[in-house]
């Protein structure tokens, strides 16, 4: 048993002969799936620290097989919040959210290193999925970049050729993973500027890149006016965006199935929309949810119109830490931005709802006690866009094909 299991554990880039020659402890001799299961239960910081225990241990944490086991559990246990800030230069801050500490406590924000350096001096955020962060460069044809700050490797996705004779007016993105096919895909919907003399280029087109075969494929025209810049909700292997509904101020919910690559309209609840900008999609406990002003609608059973229910109303609250001074200058965003005043991020284990307030404060709301908690995170910039991130050890090199 011992000799057979030892060869299973270390099929990574570490020198095999060296690793196998060491005498090992029982924990490292456990069947691979048991050993991986134990490691996957560790808080993320302990997992990273434990790489120093031994060569075999180090190799296991870096094993792609372990990465896949870990990510399933990590999305439940290791909540992080990623903060994006773009002034004067683009930066990402990561904050670990320890939900076990009384009521949930956010640790100090740390700035993530930009591994792309001069190739990506300024960037915008496409999204975060299974620990992988996808960025794009607005200055350079919206080229895409993917990396995991906690695993080796960072990659630039291939450039894409759009209609050469049409001017791109804006681009809408999506980045996600399908749990069945285990495939990561990036989608990019290109809207062209409409000129009187350029009808041909006016129809928006969708391009998809699969990580297993990273080349851009044009999947055809898309009849929806999606609101960008990026998809906010990934549910059941489907990305979701809000779309402008004809001449009305209402919005459609449009889904894109990562497996079949089909767009679909998703039934939605009957809500009142006062301000057309005041609406947002989010995933709460795995369910597609719609936030309209301060009301949270949740659909328990996907695609069933009757399963939408208004579950939570967030009361009026101005966090004490909210400050209007020191505002950075207004920055126009080519692809638009998700500027809703109250932007819901996720549901916490204790039932609270975590949201960002006016891009300045992070607040959690307890729907039972109707209490608010102002999360003062040390080290954050004055303004930010927050998204949920699940730290993983999945390396972009193992999921993205090609060189």
C-alpha pair distances (Å), 326 with each of 169, 170, 329, 333, 383: 31, 30, 9, 20, 10
CB nearer another protein, residue 25 or residue 370: 25
When asked if residue 43 is in the footprint of another protein (CB under 8 A), the reply is yes
CB nearer another protein, residue 59 or residue 282: 59
CB nearer another protein, residue 114 or residue 299: 114
Categorise residue 280: left if φ over 0, alpha if ψ from -120 to 50, beta otherwise: beta
Length of the chain: 403
When asked if residue 152 is in the footprint of another protein (CB under 8 A), the reply is yes
Spatial distance between the Cα atoms of 200 and 198, rounded to a whole number of angstroms: 5
Whether cis (ω within 30° of 0) applies to the bond prior to 229 is yes
In this structure, what are the phi and psi dihedrals at residue 137, rounded to the nearest 5 degrees? -110, 110
CB of 95 to another protein, least distance (A): 12
CB of 396 to another protein, least distance (A): 14
CB nearer another protein, residue 65 or residue 336: 65
Nearest to 304 by CA among 287, 286, 284, 285: 287
Stretch near another protein under the rule CB under 8 A, chosen from 22-30, 134-142, 184-192, 359-367? 22-30
Query: Which residue from 6, 11, 20, 50 is in contact with another protein, where contact means CB under 8 A?
Result: 50
Report whether 173 contacts 127 (CB < 8 A): yes
When asked if residue 41 is in the footprint of another protein (CB under 8 A), the reply is yes
Stretch near another protein under the rule CB under 8 A, chosen from 52-60, 250-258, 270-278, 297-305? 52-60
When asked if residue 264 is in the footprint of another protein (CB under 8 A), the reply is no
When asked if residue 54 is in the footprint of another protein (CB under 8 A), the reply is yes
In this structure, what are the phi and psi dihedrals at residue 53, rounded to the nearest 5 degrees? -65, -50
Nearest to 70 by CA among 388, 394, 400, 395: 394
Residues 6+ away with beta carbon under 8 Å from 104: 97, 98, 348, 349, 350, 352, 364
CB of 402 to another protein, least distance (A): 24
CB atoms closer than 10 angstroms to residue 45? 13
Stretch near another protein under the rule CB under 8 A, chosen from 112-120, 212-220, 272-280, 322-330? 112-120
- Token pair in block for residue 149: 């700050």
CB of 286 to another protein, least distance (A): 20
CB of 234 to another protein, least distance (A): 24
When asked if residue 49 is in the footprint of another protein (CB under 8 A), the reply is yes
Residues 6+ away with beta carbon under 8 Å from 129: 175, 176, 177, 184, 234
Q: How far is CA 163 from the centre of its chain?
A: 29
Report whether 344 contacts 291 (CB < 8 A): yes
Query: Which residue from 16, 101, 113, 167 is in contact with another protein, where contact means CB under 8 A?
Result: 113
Report whether 177 contacts 130 (CB < 8 A): yes
Stretch near another protein under the rule CB under 8 A, chosen from 40-48, 221-229, 292-300, 323-331? 40-48
CB of 74 to another protein, least distance (A): 13
Binding positions for another protein, 76-95, rule CB under 8 A? 94
When asked if residue 112 is in the footprint of another protein (CB under 8 A), the reply is yes
CB of 115 to another protein, least distance (A): 8
Positions in the binding site for another protein (CB under 8 A): 22-28, 30-31, 34, 37-39, 41-43, 45-46, 48-55, 57-58, 94, 110-114, 149-150, 152
């Amino acid at each position: 048993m011992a000799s057979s299991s030892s060869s299973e554990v270390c099929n990574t880039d570490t020198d095999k002969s060296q690793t196998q020659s060491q005498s090992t402890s029982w924990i490292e001799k456990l069947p691979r799936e048991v050993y991986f299961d134990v490691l996957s239960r560790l808080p993320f910081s302990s997992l990273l620290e434990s790489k120093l225990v031994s060569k075999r241990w180090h190799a296991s944490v870096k094993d792609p097989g372990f990465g896949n086991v870990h990510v399933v559990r990590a999305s439940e246990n290791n909540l992080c919040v990623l903060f994006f800030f773009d002034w004067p230069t683009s930066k990402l801050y990561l904050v670990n959210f320890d939900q076990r500490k009384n009521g949930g406590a956010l640790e100090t924000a740390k700035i993530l290193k930009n591994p792309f350096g001069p190739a990506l001096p300024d960037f915008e955020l496409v999204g975060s999925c299974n620990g992988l962060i996808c960025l794009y460069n607005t200055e350079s044809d919206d080229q895409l970049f993917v990396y995991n700050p906690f695993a080796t490797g960072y990659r630039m996705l291939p450039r894409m050729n759009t209609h050469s004779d049409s001017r791109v007016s804006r681009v809408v993105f999506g980045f996600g993973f399908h749990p069945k096919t285990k495939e990561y895909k990036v989608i990019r919907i290109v809207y062209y500027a409409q000129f009187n003399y350029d009808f041909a280029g006016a129809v928006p087109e969708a391009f998809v890149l699969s990580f297993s075969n990273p080349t851009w494929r044009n999947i055809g025209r898309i009849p929806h006016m999606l609101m960008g810049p990026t998809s906010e909700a990934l549910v059941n292997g489907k990305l979701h965006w809000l779309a402008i509904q004809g001449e009305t101020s209402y919005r459609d919910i449009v889904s894109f199935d990562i497996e079949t690559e089909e767009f679909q309209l998703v039934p939605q609840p009957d809500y009142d929309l006062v301000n057309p900008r005041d609406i947002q999609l989010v995933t709460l406990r795995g369910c597609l949810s719609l936030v309209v002003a301060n009301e949270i609608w949740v659909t328990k059973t996907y695609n069933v119109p009757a399963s939408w229910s208004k579950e939570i109303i967030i009361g009026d609250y101005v966090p004490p830490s909210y400050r209007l001074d020191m505002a950075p200058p207004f920055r126009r965003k080519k692809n638009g931005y998700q500027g809703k005043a109250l932007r819901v991020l996720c549901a916490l284990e204790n039932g609270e709802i975590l949201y960002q307030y006016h891009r300045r404060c992070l607040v959690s709301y307890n729907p039972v006690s109707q209490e608010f908690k102002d999360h003062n995170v040390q080290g954050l910039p004055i303004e930010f866009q927050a998204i949920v991130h699940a730290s993983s050890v999945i390396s972009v090199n193992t999921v993205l094909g090609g060189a």
